[in-house]
């Protein structure tokens, strides 16, 4: 009986010790890769939540021969297989390592070659299409000492492309349109540019003549107003996207004004160039300042674009004038109009303002 009692006490003691051992809980230390890198890498990403290390190498790298440049684990963790800084590893395929603290933690190391990043889409080359005669302003001839923008062998149709008041102002000793042979945007043998210059008369009467050129032809002079009718537009049935070219503007201070712009006296002059594409039934008769194109509301206007010049410069700058189309109709006429004084139709501007233009062209 005594022996049975001793055996029972011993059994209870053993059970008690086993329970105490089970109740001991160790602090969990997770095995993690704290830092990792290889020589010449582009970048390395450690994804702790997924227990992955992802290395990206430059294009052309040999993933089978990568030299470890950094490797740091959770303090006390052991790595199998063993790795250290300076080891050469093969990551042409992912490899698995086990980090052991109290418990094992499985990690995956991988590498890939950097994929080339797509660059920006190249700008499309401007498309060429139908142009107008002498948009380069290389062709000139003289009549009575006055310059006209066509050469001596030009056809009647070519002579009719560019109109101006030069046949009048030039013969009065105040040419508003001139050939420029020295100051060019694109120099070379046989090259020339266009020079527009504003003139003013302040003797007995005060009248301004802006330097202006346009597609079309001049009409008769009205001597009561000292102005002339002009007709804008020559036949043209294409739809260019832009008018490109080079310009240099040299404005003066406005000293000639008329209503409603008398408040501009003393301010700096402005020049401009614009394009009209229309389906007028005939060239538009402009009678400054009483009859002008209604740029905003004329239903015949299909496309319109304008560039204004305000800065004084001694060099040419490239400009690109976008033609904004209002509908899908096919044009009948085009009118490129440029002036050294933008408000010349209102006899407002500055005597001596000069606008140089060179190498105009349409893009499509």
pLDDT attached to residue 258: 92
Domain termination site, one of 113, 131, 165 = 113
Tens digit of each residue's pLDDT (9 = 90 or more) over 245-285 = 999 999 999 999 999 999 999 999 999 999 999 999 999 99
End-to-end alpha carbon distance in the chain = 116
Q: Are residues 181 and 47 in the same domain?
A: no
Quote the pLDDT of residue 27.
67
Task: Provide the number of structural domains found in the chain.
Answer: 2
If asked whether residues 193 and 342 sit together in one domain, one would say yes
Q: Which residues of 224-261 are buried (b: 16+ CB within 10 A; e: fewer)?
A: eeebbebbbbbebeebbbbbbbbbbbbbbebbbbbeeb
Mark whether 157 and 77 lie in a shared domain: no
- Do residues 174 and 275 share a domain? yes
Burial letters for 174-198: b for 16+ Cβ neighbours within 10 Å, e otherwise? bbbbbbbeeebbeeeeebbbbbbbb
In a domain, 12, yes or no: no
Q: Residue 25 falls within a domain, yes or no?
A: no
The fraction of the chain above a pLDDT of 90, given in percent, is 77
Structural domain containing residue 248: 141-363
**What is the reported pLDDT for 222?**
63
User: Which DSSP letter does residue 349 get?
Assistant: B
CATH number, domain containing residue 241: 2.60.120.890
Residues 100, 197: one domain? Answer: no
Boundary of a domain, candidates 96, 113, 130: 113
The string of pLDDT tens digits covering residues 291-303 is 889 999 999 999 9
Structural domain includes residue 70:
yes
Task: Compute CA distances 348 → 109, 249, 261, 270, 288, whole Å.
Answer: 78, 17, 7, 10, 11
| Residue 226 pLDDT | 58
Long-range contacts of 167-175 (CB under 8 A, 24+ apart): 167/218, 168/218, 168/221, 168/228, 169/199, 169/209, 170/144, 170/145, 170/146, 171/144, 171/146, 174/199, 174/201, 174/209, 175/146, 175/147
Identify whether 9 is part of a domain. no
Task: Residue count of the chain, please give it.
Answer: 364
169 and 297: one domain?
yes
- 96 shares a domain with 154: no
Antiparallel, parallel or unpaired: β 242-250 and 146-148: unpaired
Q: According to the model, what pLDDT value does residue 291 have? A: 81
User: 27 in a domain, yes or no?
Assistant: no
Give the pLDDT confidence score for residue 210 in this predicted structure. Answer: 94
Residue 295 counted as domain residue: yes
Q: Is the peptide bond before 198 cis (omega within 30 degrees of 0)?
A: no
- 157 and 92 in a common domain: no
Asked if residue 100 is part of any domain, the answer here is yes
pLDDT at res. 306: 97
User: How much is the pLDDT for 120?
Assistant: 81
Question: The CATH number of the domain where 89 resides is what?
Answer: 2.60.40.2340
Is 231 contained in some domain?
yes
228 & 175 share domain: yes
Residues 323 and 212 in one domain: yes
- Whether residue 59 is found in the same domain as residue 204: no
Indicate whether 154 and 104 sit together in one domain. Answer: no
* Predicted local distance difference test score (pLDDT) of residue 6: 42
In the chain, which stretches have pLDDT less than 70?
A: 1-27, 204, 221-227
């Amino acid at each position: 009986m005594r022996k049975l009692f001793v055996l029972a006490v011993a059994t209870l003691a053993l059970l008690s010790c086993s329970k105490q051992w089970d109740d001991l809980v160790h602090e969990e230390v997770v095995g993690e890769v704290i830092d990792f890198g290889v020589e010449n890498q582009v970048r390395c990403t450690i994804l702790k939540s997924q227990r992955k290390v992802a290395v990206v190498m430059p294009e052309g790298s040999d993933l089978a021969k990568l030299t470890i440049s950094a490797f740091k684990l959770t303090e006390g963790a052991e790595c199998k297989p063993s790795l250290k800084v300076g080891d050469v590893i093969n990551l042409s395929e992912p490899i698995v390592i086990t980090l052991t603290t109290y418990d094992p933690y499985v990690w995956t190391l991988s590498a890939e070659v950097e994929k080339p990043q797509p660059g920006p889409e190249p700008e499309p080359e401007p498309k060429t299409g139908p142009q107008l005669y002498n948009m380069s302003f290389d062709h000139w001839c003289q009549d009575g000492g006055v310059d006209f923008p066509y050469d001596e062998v030009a056809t009647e149709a070519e002579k009719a492309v560019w109109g101006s008041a030069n046949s009048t102002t030039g013969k009065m000793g105040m040419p508003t349109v001139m050939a420029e042979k020295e100051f060019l945007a694109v120099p070379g043998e046989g090259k020339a540019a266009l020079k527009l210059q504003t003139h003013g008369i302040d003797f007995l009467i005060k009248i301004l003549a802006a330097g202006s050129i346009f597609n079309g032809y001049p009409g008769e002079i009205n001597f009561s107003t000292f102005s002339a009718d002009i007709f804008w537009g020559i036949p043209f049935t294409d739809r260019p996207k832009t008018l490109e070219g080079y310009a240099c503007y040299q404005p003066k201070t406005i000293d000639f004004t008329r209503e409603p712009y008398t408040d501009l006296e003393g301010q700096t002059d402005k020049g401009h160039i614009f394009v009209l594409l229309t389906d007028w039934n005939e060239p538009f008769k402009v009678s400054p300042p009483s009859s002008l194109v209604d740029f905003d509301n004329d239903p015949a206007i299909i496309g319109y674009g304008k560039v204004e010049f305000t800065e004084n410069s001694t060099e040419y700058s490239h400009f690109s004038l976008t033609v904004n189309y209002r509908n899908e109709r096919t044009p009948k006429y085009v009118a490129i109009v440029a002036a050294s004084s933008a408000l010349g139709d209102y006899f407002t501007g500055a005597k001596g303002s000069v606008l140089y233009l060179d190498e105009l062209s349409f893009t499509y």
